Amino acid sequence: MARARPTSVILLGGQENALSILRSLHRHGVPVILSAPEQSWALRSRYCHGRHPIPEGMDPQIFWEELLIGPNHPQLRGCVILACSDDAIEFMAMHRSELRSGGYILDDHVSNQQLQLLNRHITLELASLAGIPTPRHWAVERPEDIEAIESEIEFPAVVVPKQIPLFERIHGKKRLLIDDFSRLLSIGQHAHARGIELTVCENIPGPDDLASRYSTYIDRQGNALFRFTRRILKCSSAEYGKGVHFRAQWLPETAEIGEKFFRSINFTGLGTVDLKQDPRNGELKLIHCDARFTSDQELLIRSNLDSSWIIYNHLAAHRTIRPAPILNGARLWCGYEDFNAFRELRARNELDWAGWIRSIARPAGRPYFSFEDPHPALAKAFHTGIQKLRAGRQGQVNEL
């Protein structure tokens, strides 16, 4: 008897996380289709079974609605859909019933819960209700709200939007680190004009390696399919809060707080919480939650935890795969972004050349590079080079 063809997977959005899932599921013989913005380097992977790039300037929500709910692509129905971006979370939450009616296989998330966790203020409030320490935070709907809390805010402060996908399309970032009140007020006025509500958060001081992360997948019976923690060794200077160097490490307190948060809200599906230890009082504080695959997905693979394969089997085959023992100590390193972070730390006299070289001396995986699948890394390197050339030329023009 011929072996049944594996159920295909559709990945929505993403960059390095989508690429890691593509490569992982390909090794298991699962066809993977990717729909993401044109500048998602994962679209260049040789392991893409199908590509549906989103044209520049087009709202991903509209594109995916036409692609998956409209009548033009009936061959996609029956696939497993996995979210790799905040836009994808929002789309799946808003259209979950239509997607299920269309025959798609979806994860165990609850729509309202997904949308709540996209809102930083609600996330922090839920954590506080569960007795979990959080940074101080304030909801901001109008510029007047910022003026009212001027005396309470310490700078630098972090600004996070309620509507993350819209804010990210405008600013190119999910969050901003603000150094003074006038800039904060300006951001608030700009956001209010576009109908975007903000959350202003206290910035927890201290080095990046005080941050950690916990990931799990909880099914509808309350069973955790896997649990994984890692240390964030360094964060990007260009995009505040985004990790660029990670080390797999079992961190009991991080896992305990992450588990406590998810259980307190009856969470189901894939979730990751970011935490940071506050050096002022030693408390480990919950900062953020993602209900999707995160940018360090490749670290899980290199740590012997093939989470996408575990989730795929749970959804498509109703089969539970027992995770293999975790390889603690595995690292993931984003070289270009890490070097940029080092340059900024060096300018502030917080890290010298010797310290940086020691920090990257141990072997580490790369999120994009692969000898078997080189095109995503080459496309990213070419694009980065072109950007640098354009920036240099613009700088010369500005000087003239």
For residue range 304-329, what is the model confidence (pLDDT) as tens digits? 999 999 999 999 999 999 998 999 99
User: How many angstroms separate the CA atoms of 158 and 323, rounded?
Assistant: 37
Q: Is the pLDDT of residue 395 over 70?
A: no
User: Is residue 121 within 8 Å of residue 199, measured between CB atoms?
Assistant: yes
Res 397: pLDDT:
45
Q: Is the pLDDT of residue 193 over 80?
A: yes
**DSSP per position, 7-66:** PPEEEES-SHHHHHHHHHHHHTT--EEEE-BTT-GGGG-TTEEEE-PBPTTS-HHHHHII
What percent of the chain shows pLDDT beyond 70? Answer: 94
Res 392: pLDDT:
63
Res 400: pLDDT:
35
Mean pLDDT of 220-227: 97
User: How many angstroms separate the CA atoms of 99 and 68, rounded?
Assistant: 8
For residue range 242-253, what is the model confidence (pLDDT) as tens digits? 899 999 999 999
Mean pLDDT of 59-65: 96
| DSSP state, residue 322 | P
Res 1: pLDDT:
42
What fold does the segment set 9-106 form as a domain?
Answer: Rossmann fold (3.40.50)
What percent of the chain shows pLDDT beyond 90? Answer: 76
Tokens of 274: 């970011």
Res 232: pLDDT:
96
Q: Is the pLDDT of residue 210 over 50?
A: yes
* pTM for the structure as a whole: 0.91
For residue range 75-121, what is the model confidence (pLDDT) as tens digits? 999 999 999 999 999 999 999 999 999 999 999 999 899 999 999 99
User: How many angstroms separate the CA atoms of 128 and 135, rounded?
Assistant: 10
**DSSP per position, 258-309:** HHHHHHHTT--EEEEEEEEE-TTT--EEEEEEESS--TTHHHHHHTT--HHH
Q: Is the pLDDT of residue 376 over 90?
A: yes
For residue range 340-368, what is the model confidence (pLDDT) as tens digits? 888 888 888 888 999 889 888 888 999 99
For residue range 133-162, what is the model confidence (pLDDT) as tens digits? 999 999 999 999 999 999 999 999 999 887
Mean pLDDT of 364-392: 87
Res 399: pLDDT:
46
From first CA to last CA, the distance across the chain in angstroms is 74
Where residue 394 falls among pLDDT bands split at 50, 70, 90?
A: low
Could you tell me which CATH number the domain at 208-359 has?
3.30.470.20
Could you tell me which CATH number the domain at 136-202 has?
3.30.1490.20
Bridge partners of 218, per DSSP, are 224, 269
Mean pLDDT of the chain: 91
Numbered ranges of CATH 3.30.1490.20 in the chain: 136-202
User: How many angstroms separate the CA atoms of 224 and 310, rounded?
Assistant: 11
Alpha carbon of residue 388 to chain centroid? 25
Higher pLDDT, 170 or 367: 367
Mean pLDDT of 2-21: 90
Res 239: pLDDT:
55
Mean pLDDT of 51-62: 95
Q: What is the dihedral of CA 84, 244, 333, 247, to 10 degrees?
A: -90
Res 388: pLDDT:
73
